[in-house]
Structure 1
Amino acid sequence: MGISTIITVLTLLSGVALFLYGMQLMGEGLKQVAGNKLELILYKLTSTPLKGFLLGTVVTALIQSSGATTVMVVGFVNSGLMKLSQAIGIIMGANIGTSITGWIICLSYIDGQQGLASLLSTATISAVVAILGIVFRMFMKKDIFHATGNIMLGFAILMVGMQTMSGAVSPLSQSPAFTSLLTSFTNPVMGILFGILITAVLQSVSAACGVLQALSVTGGITFASAFPMLMGVGIGAATPVLLSAIGTGTNGKRTALVYLLNDLFAMLLGSVLFYGTNLVFHYPFLDTVMNPFSIAALNSMYRFAAMLLLLPFVKGIERLTKVLIPNREDDEEDSDTLDLLEDRFLNYPDLALAQCQRAMDSMAENVVKNLARAMDLLDHFDERKFSKIQEKENRIDKYQDKLDTYLMQMLKRELSNAQSTEVSKFLHCIPDFERIGDYSYEMAKVARDQYEKKQS
């Protein structure tokens, strides 16, 4: 490997790094400007799959990350705030919304000529936005201006990253080895695998499409190689979503799996329909050389068509995820409602109180069932039932610890009189539930002693 090759690779990687950082900065700034209300909007406006579909598209277009949208949704479903069927619509919409970044990237390929036209060049646009961004960051006092400054700086950094990537790969157009490599991706299997690999590494659909748009400036990307790569990109993007589901409950894992299934089905549909009809019609545009604009257009059209075809099958996808990830033992009896108490809901007291109520209901159900088990042991002792009572008693103690801590955190927020009264009621009820649980366990121990000593 020559020095020039090493420099080219390092330049390309630095461009990818700048692109990823700029995109992250933009997304965080947009969420700050929204006042962290995006999550509440997602929760409230998804009563039907179609609403979820449209909302997922809009929210993802704003925060520039289908993965971030899906991770939010995984949290909602895991905490019981949202049904799996609602989440599927949002995830489908997120698949479309993430393609908007490709059109933003196209701005980095605008080349102004002389005179006034030069004001439209990428360098000019990036410079103006960066200057405005640093002014907002350095000289404005309000948080919303700081967040707006972050959005502008993120955009400028993203543009510079794209220019760096394009500059690094441009000389490769003269390399026969590189041209040969790109040509190999006209094989659909190779193209899909490349798309999966690059997105799994970058963990971003937008970044992977950005790299593909940068490679297109070499003139070596044709429709035949771009299409399978874009299909693979969606599947690779499931990696960070699946990682986010580690440690969640059954429904949280199902939600993450939906992201992967959507893109797998989209890839299968795209492959069967496109390559099947190509055998009959022999499409003449397969050898068309792609550029950043045509790749952005192809990505958007493919995602929109695939998700629109899948939308009527929300119920079927939901049933499939339940088959692939069945309920664990005791899932129905004792769902993991401790996950309901997430810190994100503390910003919305009514929502947090509703979650506390659900968690307390579950705690009460555990207490009632344990009491019934303990009384049954007095007449018919069973070691397995005794172990079950022990296990549930530990769980009841966890409920008390988690609820007490959560409610005390709520008291530190600005609450109305009605909300404060509700918190006080909860704080009085929880120790009573826990005490009944203790009595049940003591009763179970008495039953065990009677059984071992053969007393009645």
Structure 2
Amino acid sequence: MSILQLFGGIGLFLFGMSNMSSSLEKLTGSGLERLLEKVTTSKKKGVGRIKGWAFGAGVTAIIQSSAATTIMLVGFVNAGIMKVAQAMPVVFGSNLGSTITAQILRLGDIGSDNIVLQLLKPASFAPILVGIGAFIIVFTKSKNSKNIAGIMVGLGMLFYGMTLMENVFAPLKESAKFQSFFTSFENPLIGILTGIVITVILQSSNASVGILQALSSSGSISFAVAIPIIIGQNIGKCSTTIMGGIGANKKSKRLVVGYVFFNVFGAVFFAVIIYLLHYTIGLPFMAKLVNRGSIATIHLLFNLITGLILLPFSDKVTEFTEKVIREEENDDIDKEFAKLDDMLLNTPTIALEQCKALINKMGEAILENYKLATDMIYQYNEEMLPKMEENESFIDKCETNLSAYIVRIDRKRLTNDDKLTSYEILNSIGDFERMGDYCMNIAYVAKEKNEKGIHFSPSGHKETESIISAVRYTIETAINSFIKDDIYLAVRVEPLSEAIDELKEIIKSHHVERLQEGICSIEGGVSLFDLVNSFERIASHAANVSLHVIKKVRRDNEFDEMHGHANDNQAEEYKALYHYYESQYIQPILVHEGDLSYETAIDSIDKTLEKKEKEAKAKADAKKKSQSKDKASKSSKKPSDKSDKNIQKGSDKNVQKNDKNVQKSSDKNDKNASKDTSKDSKNKNSNKKKGSK
């Protein structure tokens, strides 16, 4: 029966610790991880070290695992978010933070008849914590409330498991065999090895120290037994981090070496100092029995003193790890894909940021290929193709790796913002890849044009240069809007894309006219048509990217409105930009008098967007006020008939007034729309005449 009770106690203890840690991590979200880089980057090295050490201790105290903190840091270093020198002080601090559980468990030593102090004992408040926590989990829907309740249940189960283990070990005080068995652990080597083995099996130094605290209730554990076991436990906890570093890059492995070095150095330092003093001058306290508080204090001092000794020399520790793990030059492409590290999946926000960083590199490759391809149209260079093909291979690999990585991120618990970012990335990756494909199409057309000796007329050359310039600006704007989530850039892409579509048709029409006049050839027309079709498709995919940015920033309720700008006669900011791009890039064919300047067009857009944001906020505030008034009216008494009539009259007047305003606004907009339509029609007719001339 005692053995079953012991297994049950250990099980409850481990499950409670795991449940408490996971609930704490869910409650804090990714906020702690996002602060890591900010905390550890300081111009003054000493300040950065202290901040990193303190922050590492704080994070580990919350998530209850120094190994988990270190594995998280390994992921950051592996992805290039942090440097080894930045992460090392955080590792030192994580060891200190791991002692918090033992400090909580020392509450079991409280022995007083005072009612308040008795309530602080684990045996007293553990059932209360479990009961309240379970009640909250069952009857509440709030995620934060459930996480807080999970912490309470986990802590209660941890204490209850501790109590069960103590009840098993307490009768062993009278067992001579048990006493003699533990006497053998006074041998430092046996004690250290025992601590290592137990911690490796349990994969948690907190759990092994907690079990040792429970064993102290048997009255068989002296300082001479506890000290070597605790030293071994601090070495044994490195096993989890070592396994987490398998498959990581060289820099991440250096961080693992630093973590192991910290604990081994601390073990050697304490063992040498303590046993040197014990065997020379003697340490009387070594024969005394320990309790939970004594074990917690030894565990704390081990990590605190080791951290204080090594913290000023964290740079030296980093240099030592560099000598142990030497750098090897890896392929640059592999380094970029290392950003998509599975160790970051538990911090989705940071993982998504890494995806965007890789897409930024993807965009740079697209822009480089576009420049090379368009240069080849008039000055073909065979040596450019291998570089373009290398970039295209990188772009294709980016699409494959990013798609798979985003799917893995989506399986995690995401915030609403992270879900929107994930959707934005997943839907934009294909458009980026297709832009890269059409850049290669341009290069292949340029190659064929060169092989066949095809030349464009001066007019065709000028028109092609215009569309090349327009598409380049489209790509740059779309990429920048995506990386920055900048809606003010994103709304500029679709009107430009429409202008490019119009430019494509004009170029084709003019080529047919030149062909009829015998200025251009059919072969040249085939090449020209292939080129302008590729340009138009690139602009179209760039517009798709910008629309996904708008959807993320403006949410779904605004997306349809922005998407409909192409056919929305009331979108003045859209028309302003469209006319600007029309006059900017289609000057040889279309010239509008009184076109808006670029600055005026952009200013109009910014003002309109700000106005929409204010209107949306005002609507939300009005809705909240309306809901609060409805609740208040329901709870209050029924109003008199007279007041009902007054309210009804006021409401009817407001409705009638609003209907009139809406009707006037609609009539006015219809008139404006008809004017714009007639004006556009006149412009097109005049342009056709100019074109024929």
Query: If the TM-score is normalised by the length of the shorter chain, which range does it land in?
Result: 0.7 to 0.9
Measure, in 2, the Cα distance between the counterparts of 1:93 and 1:211: 24
After TM superposition, the structure 1 stretch with the greater mean CA deviation from structure 2, 113-122 or 431-440, is: 431-440
TM-score by length of 2: 0.54
- Tell me the secondary structure at the aligned position of residue 217 of structure 1: helix
Measure, in 2, the Cα distance between the counterparts of 1:49 and 1:414: 32
- Tell me the secondary structure at the aligned position of residue 18 of structure 1: helix
Q: CA deviation at 1:105?
A: 1.1
Measure, in 1, the Cα distance between the counterparts of 2:317 and 2:127: 46
Matched residue, 1:83: 83
Q: Of residues 332, 339, 349 in structure 2, which corresponds to 1:347?
A: 349
Matched residue, 1:219: 219
Question: Is this contact kept in 2: 1:87–1:255, CA < 8 A?
Answer: yes
* 2:47 pairs with 1:45: no
Question: Is this contact kept in 1: 2:192–2:233, CA < 8 A?
Answer: yes
Matched residue, 2:397: 398
Question: Is this contact kept in 2: 1:77–1:83, CA < 8 A?
Answer: yes
Measure, in 2, the Cα distance between the counterparts of 1:170 and 1:14: 16
Q: CA deviation at 1:57?
A: 0.4
Distance 1:433 1:261, change over 3 A: farther
After TM superposition, the structure 1 stretch with the greater mean CA deviation from structure 2, 142-151 or 215-224, is: 215-224
Q: CA deviation at 1:296?
A: 0.6
Matched residue, 1:311: 311
Matched residue, 1:336: 335
Which letter does structure 1 place at the counterpart of 2:400?
D
* 2:313 pairs with 1:287: no
Distance 1:439 1:294, change over 3 A: farther
Question: Is this contact kept in 2: 1:31–1:38, CA < 8 A?
Answer: no
Distance 1:159 1:286, change over 3 A: same
Matched residue, 1:277: 277
Matched residue, 1:203: 203
Q: CA deviation at 1:110?
A: 3.5
Q: CA deviation at 1:430?
A: 4.6
Matched residue, 1:107: 107
Measure, in 1, the Cα distance between the counterparts of 2:105 and 2:399: 51
Q: CA deviation at 1:257?
A: 2.6
Distance 1:82 1:116, change over 3 A: closer
Q: CA deviation at 1:295?
A: 0.8
Question: Is this contact kept in 2: 1:49–1:85, CA < 8 A?
Answer: no
Which letter does structure 1 place at the counterpart of 2:330?
D
Measure, in 2, the Cα distance between the counterparts of 1:162 and 1:84: 38
Mapping of 1:170-249 within 5 angstroms?
170-249=170-249
Distance 1:336 1:12, change over 3 A: farther
The share of aligned pairs that are identical, in percent, is 31
Measure, in 2, the Cα distance between the counterparts of 1:265 and 1:436: 57
Distance 1:436 1:208, change over 3 A: farther
Measure, in 2, the Cα distance between the counterparts of 1:239 and 1:170: 31
Matched residue, 2:672: none
Matched residue, 1:383: none
Q: CA deviation at 1:420?
A: 10
After TM superposition, the structure 1 stretch with the greater mean CA deviation from structure 2, 72-81 or 345-354, is: 345-354
Q: CA deviation at 1:108?
A: 3.5
Matched residue, 2:302: 302
Question: Is this contact kept in 1: 2:30–2:348, CA < 8 A?
Answer: no
Measure, in 2, the Cα distance between the counterparts of 1:71 and 1:118: 39
Which letter does structure 2 place at the counterpart of 1:41?
L
TM-score by length of 1: 0.80
Question: Is this contact kept in 1: 2:359–2:398, CA < 8 A?
Answer: no
Q: Deviations over 1:308-332 (max 9, x none)?
A: 111122122212222222234x327
Structure 2 unaligned blocks of 5 or more: 42-47, 370-381, 444-693
Q: CA deviation at 1:432?
A: 5.7
Matched residue, 1:259: 259
Question: Is this contact kept in 1: 2:349–2:418, CA < 8 A?
Answer: no
Which letter does structure 2 place at the counterpart of 1:291?
N
Distance 1:285 1:295, change over 3 A: same
RMSD of aligned alpha carbons: 4.0
Matched residue, 2:9: 15
Which letter does structure 2 place at the counterpart of 1:25?
N
* 2:28 pairs with 1:29: no
Please say which structure displays the higher CA radius of gyration.
Answer: 2
Measure, in 2, the Cα distance between the counterparts of 1:416 and 1:117: 47
- Tell me the secondary structure at the aligned position of residue 185 of structure 1: helix
Which letter does structure 1 place at the counterpart of 2:32?
L
Which letter does structure 2 place at the counterpart of 1:92?
F
Measure, in 1, the Cα distance between the counterparts of 2:10 and 2:422: 48
Q: Deviations over 1:166-186 (max 9, x none)?
A: 111222222222212211111
Matched residue, 1:356: 358
Measure, in 1, the Cα distance between the counterparts of 2:259 and 2:29: 27
Measure, in 2, the Cα distance between the counterparts of 1:418 and 1:142: 23
Q: CA deviation at 1:137?
A: 0.8
Q: CA deviation at 1:426?
A: 7.3
Q: CA deviation at 1:210?
A: 0.5
Measure, in 2, the Cα distance between the counterparts of 1:257 and 1:234: 15
After TM superposition, the structure 1 stretch with the greater mean CA deviation from structure 2, 40-49 or 51-60, is: 40-49
Q: Deviations over 1:80-123 (max 9, x none)?
A: 11111122111111101111100111224445648665434433
Q: Deviations over 1:326-360 (max 9, x none)?
A: 234x3275553323135456536983465325654
Question: Is this contact kept in 2: 1:334–1:362, CA < 8 A?
Answer: no
Which letter does structure 2 place at the counterpart of 1:17?
G
Question: Is this contact kept in 2: 1:79–1:340, CA < 8 A?
Answer: yes
Question: Is this contact kept in 2: 1:30–1:62, CA < 8 A?
Answer: yes
Which letter does structure 2 place at the counterpart of 1:253?
K
Structure 1 unaligned blocks of 5 or more: 1-6, 368-374, 379-385, 441-456
Q: CA deviation at 1:290?
A: 0.6
Higher relative contact order (CA 8 A, sep 6+): 1
Distance 1:121 1:113, change over 3 A: farther
Which letter does structure 2 place at the counterpart of 1:103?
Q
Distance 1:252 1:136, change over 3 A: same
- Tell me the secondary structure at the aligned position of residue 290 of structure 2: coil
Measure, in 2, the Cα distance between the counterparts of 1:424 and 1:141: 32
Measure, in 2, the Cα distance between the counterparts of 1:416 and 1:199: 38
Distance 1:117 1:343, change over 3 A: closer
Distance 1:291 1:438, change over 3 A: farther
Distance 1:418 1:33, change over 3 A: closer
Question: Is this contact kept in 2: 1:130–1:156, CA < 8 A?
Answer: yes
Distance 1:287 1:347, change over 3 A: same
Distance 1:407 1:97, change over 3 A: closer
Measure, in 2, the Cα distance between the counterparts of 1:106 and 1:182: 22
Q: Deviations over 1:177-208 (max 9, x none)?
A: 22122111111111111110110011111101
Measure, in 1, the Cα distance between the counterparts of 2:317 and 2:113: 51
Q: CA deviation at 1:11?
A: 2.6
Measure, in 1, the Cα distance between the counterparts of 2:104 and 2:421: 47
Matched residue, 1:64: 64
Q: CA deviation at 1:435?
A: 8.1
